[in-house]
Amino acid sequence: MFTFATDYYIGVFISAMGALQLAASLGGLKGLLIFKSPTVSRTLAIALVVAGFVLFFSTGSRNINDYEGGLDAPTQGLFFFLGASTAVLVTLVVSSLVNHRMRGDERDPSTGVEALRDTNYALALARSISYWCKNWRTQTKRYFSR
Amino acid sequence: MANPDETLFLAINGFVGALPILDRVARWVVSDYLVPVGLALMLIVVWFMKEDRDERAKHQIGVLVALGSMSLSSLVVFILNIYYFRPRPFEDLDVNLLFYQPTDSSFPSNAVAAVSGIAFGIWGVNRAVGWMAISAAGLYGLARVYAGVHYPLDVIAGAAIAIPSAFIIFKLRDLLMPLPLWLIKFARILRLA
């Protein structure tokens, strides 16, 4: 049987997967999408967000004090962070595999997530890291100054 | 004679039991999960949602402002609770309780202050999503009264703390700017901003 914390983590993970797909679809970040069609992506996204909540509330009593098996606010924050981080990681890996053919032009690494419009995440990250390994001495000063 | 806050509380809480489906929905809304997690997910959406690069950067700073506003609101409530403790309604009145019995001060509502801090922070950068977040925070506050864990004044005070907190963080953002800017620039290296 899962504990309250595990249910919390799983619920957040599923809903955050949906939130990320919705955000990527709205932001035109095709490299992060698992499905290419915007309609499918958004429908799946909303379904995942709702599924996370439904799963959490349908698998047990949820209004429990922290000393009776629930979670206090800092622990909830921690489990949200863990669930959302796992969702980000899974999204990055799965979308990189699904979109492995998306190999857009090399851009200035300071454009950040902008590269994910036409490039998969793994390639965009590799290009960024490669650029920074070669140029970190010259770029750091400019990059981290206002 | 009961004060207006207690009278209003009893009027709202008195509806419990009239419609079982409403009580069920209230149990979900009042929980520590639905609205807080929903608002946190909104922050994820706001972080990535804009197609234009400058707009996206503005929204990302807005997300950090919302988190700052939530932290400041919680800090203000924490400081207030050192000097003032108000017992929960279920300790003094005959209440229809739909939630567990929290042990911290009823006034001001810490939970409402925190979620309102996020909501007003989002509203500062995106009105459409912001209104959704404020509506969710408002519903959360109402549900806390309905469920018997807060007086109306506790909820109003929580929201009232969040408004200036969000405003202060927005005003201070130029002063604090190097920090969020570094964070966003580092996230850009990782292709996450």
Q: How many CB atoms lie within 10 A of CB B7?
A: 12
What averages of pLDDT result for each successive group of 10 residues across chain B (193 residues)? 88 96 96 97 97 93 95 97 96 94 95 97 96 98 97 98 95 83 90 94
Query: Chain B residues contacting A, CB < 8 Å?
Result: 27-28, 30-34, 36-38, 40-42, 44-51, 53, 56, 98-103, 114, 177-178, 181-182, 185, 187-193
DSSP letters along chain A, please? Answer: ---HHHHHHHHHHHHHHHHHHHHHHHTT-GGG-SSSSHHHHHHHHHHHHHHHHHHHHHTS-----GGGT---HHHHHHHHHHHHHHHHHHHHHHHHHHTTT-B-----GGGGGGGGGTB-HHHHHHHHHHHHHHHHHHHHHHHT--
What is the pLDDT, as a whole number, of residue A144?
Answer: 60
What is the pLDDT, as a whole number, of residue B44?
Answer: 97
Q: Which of B64, B8, B44 is nearest to B179 (CA)?
A: B64
What is the pLDDT, as a whole number, of residue A107?
Answer: 74
DSSP letters along B8-54, please? Answer: HHHHHHTTTTT-HHHHHHHHHHHSSSHHHHHHHHHHHHHHH--SSHH
Chain A residues near residue B73 by CB distance under 8 angstroms? none
**Are the C-beta atoms of B91 and B144 separated by less than 8 Å?**
no
Place of tokens 């404020």: B134
B102: left (phi over 0), alpha (psi -120 to 50) or beta: beta
What is the pLDDT, as a whole number, of residue B8?
Answer: 97
What is the pLDDT, as a whole number, of residue A145?
Answer: 62
What is the pLDDT, as a whole number, of residue A111?
Answer: 84
Structure tokens at A75: 């622990």
d(CA B134, CA A121): 33
Residues of chain A with pLDDT under 70: 1, 142-146
Which of B31, B34, B48 comes nearest A113 by C-beta? B48
